[in-house]
Amino acid sequence: MTGNGIVLVAVVDQVTPRIQGQLESLLGEFYPGVGAGAAAPRLELLDRAASEMIERLISAGLLQPTARFSRPLPLGNGLDKSPPLSEEDCRRAATWRERCRHVVRRGRVLGQAGFADEARESVNEALHAIGRALAIEKRLPDPESMAALRESDYKFLWGSEGDMVQGFLQNSEVSWEPLVVVLERLAS
């Protein structure tokens, strides 16, 4: 991720139109919010020789990496999936999902009792909890604060509800009620 959005760099043995087409088609699968107004990730393909040259220039101090994080994704002929999450990561994600479910229930009760401000606080807390679970599952850095989740780099976590979630996070006048349904679905 960069200040200008997400840039995906794929290193392949040889850049071919077939490989580029396969990778571009995967963007829609892994970034479903793109069609719902989210900024499309930019795909950059490098052959292995170019990647090795860049690594040598970084090692020599001539280039400075600016990526917030990177993650190797092994792609074979069958476009292999990432390895499964570790037991610890599964446990952490499940804990955050359970936290989200609990806080959503609390928010619903508070909202139905007429405490809209308190319900909104609960929805914010639930968004943070489910955001942390989704980040673990997608092997992204932990968004340790709500401020991190407000960054456009995390918008794709919410799928087709990305605009709704971002609108809620950026505008205190947006109702909490529609988000409860989204959070219940994401936390299940």
Task: Quick: pLDDT tens for 131-140.
Answer: 999 988 887 7
Residue 97, classified by CB atoms within 10 Å of its CB into exposed (0-12), middle (13-18) or buried (19+), is: buried
Least confident of 27-31, 101-105, 142-146: 27-31
Least confident of 8-12, 112-116, 151-155: 151-155
Q: Give the whole-angstrom CA distance, residue 158 versus residue 142.
A: 15
Band (pLDDT 50/70/90 cuts) for residue 34 is low
> Which two three-digit tokens encode residue 149?
């989740």
Given CA atoms 146, 150, 152, 156 in this order, what sign does their dihedral have?
positive
Cβ atoms within 10 Å, residue 9: 13
Between 64 and 77, the more confident residue is 64
> Which two three-digit tokens encode residue 167?
């609108």
Per-residue pLDDT tens over the stretch 78-102: 444 556 888 999 999 999 999 999 9
Residue whose C-alpha is closest to residue 24's, from 45, 43, 47: 43
Torsion of CA 94, 186, 106, 151, to 10 degrees: 100
Domains of the chain: 1-83 (no CATH), 87-187 (1.20.120)
Residue 107 to residues 4, 52, 122, 177, Cα–Cα distance (Å): 34, 51, 5, 9
